[in-house]
């Protein structure tokens, strides 16, 4: 019988910083420095979540609370773990944090060419609201995505449906998801 891998999600801590910096290099090419991640740990308006398989950090995602908006600033899963609905799980966790902070809208910027991320966000009801020309250093445009009505029953139903999809995938891939109800600061 295949052994199951426990999956957990928690807020970033100083102990996990080296692993998160490694993951950032692998997935995002060094988006944030160590000082940048430390600022996220210290900021009362930021939830930086890490996803762990056993004790290994395999995903990271961050949401900032600005007025009534949830700004999703980063989301990444280690390439060895793609296409198992782990990115979907992490996005659910980020949006649940936003919901618990009573935020009403979510927004983010994504490369216009990042089709897999765009498909992921579309599943959550994000829609393109505009674009920022030459937003990235290499000159690529960013699409601005927007998801409103985070506090409605419709949105909770959407998350429940997406959670069920995760559960199916985790069963197939022998993950045991251990939700942490104490995640909110
Ligand atoms: C985007 C990313 C987080 C997706 O993570 P993942 O764990 O592989 O994605 P999931 O398995 O949870 O996929 C969920 C949905 O996303 C979309 N998706 C993910 N990977 C896809 C791919 N390679 N092709 C098409 N759609 C894809 C699909 O809609 C999928 O739903 P489905 O399983 O019903 O088809 C991951 O590719 C990544 O880390 N990319 C590099 C960093 C990045 O681009 N982050 C986004 C910055 S805004």
Q: Which atom of ligand 1 is nearest to the CA of 85?
A: 12
37, 81, 121, 175: the catalytic one is 121
**pTM higher than 0.95:** yes
Q: Is the pLDDT of residue 185 over 90?
A: no
Token pair listed for 7 = 């999956």
Q: Is the pLDDT of residue 181 over 70?
A: no
What is the pLDDT confidence band of residue 180, given thresholds at 50, 70 and 90?
confident
* DSSP labels, 13-67: -GGGHHHHHHHHHHHHSS-S-HHHHHHHHH-TTEEEEEEEETTEEEEEEEEEEET
Is 109 among the catalytic positions? yes
Which residue has the least CA distance to atom 25 on ligand 1? Answer: 116
Q: Which pLDDT score is estimated for 15?
A: 97
DSSP annotation of 106 reads E
5-174: what CATH class? alpha beta
Which residue has the least CA distance to atom 8 on ligand 1? Answer: 82
């Amino acid at each position: 019988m295949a052994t199951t891998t426990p999956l957990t999600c928690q807020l970033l801590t100083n102990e996990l910083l080296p692993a998160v910096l490694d993951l950032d290099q692998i997935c995002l090419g060094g988006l944030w420095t160590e000082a940048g991640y430390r600022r996220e740990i210290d900021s009362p308006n930021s939830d930086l979540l890490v996803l762990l398989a056993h004790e290994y950090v395999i995903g990271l995602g961050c949401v900032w609370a600005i007025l009534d908006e949830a700004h999703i600033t980063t989301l990444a899963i280690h390439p060895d773990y793609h296409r198992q609905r782990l990115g979907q799980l992490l996005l659910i966790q980020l949006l649940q944090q936003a919901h618990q902070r009573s935020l009403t809208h979510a927004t983010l910027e994504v490369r216009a060419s990042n089709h897999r991320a765009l498909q992921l966000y579309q599943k959550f009801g994000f829609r393109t609201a505009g674009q920022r020309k030459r937003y990235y250093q290499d000159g690529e445009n960013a699409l601005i995505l927007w998801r409103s009505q985070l506090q409605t029953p419709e949105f909770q139903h959407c998350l429940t449906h997406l959670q069920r999809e995760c559960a199916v995938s985790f069963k197939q891939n022998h993950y045991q998801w251990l939700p942490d109800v104490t995640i909110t600061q």
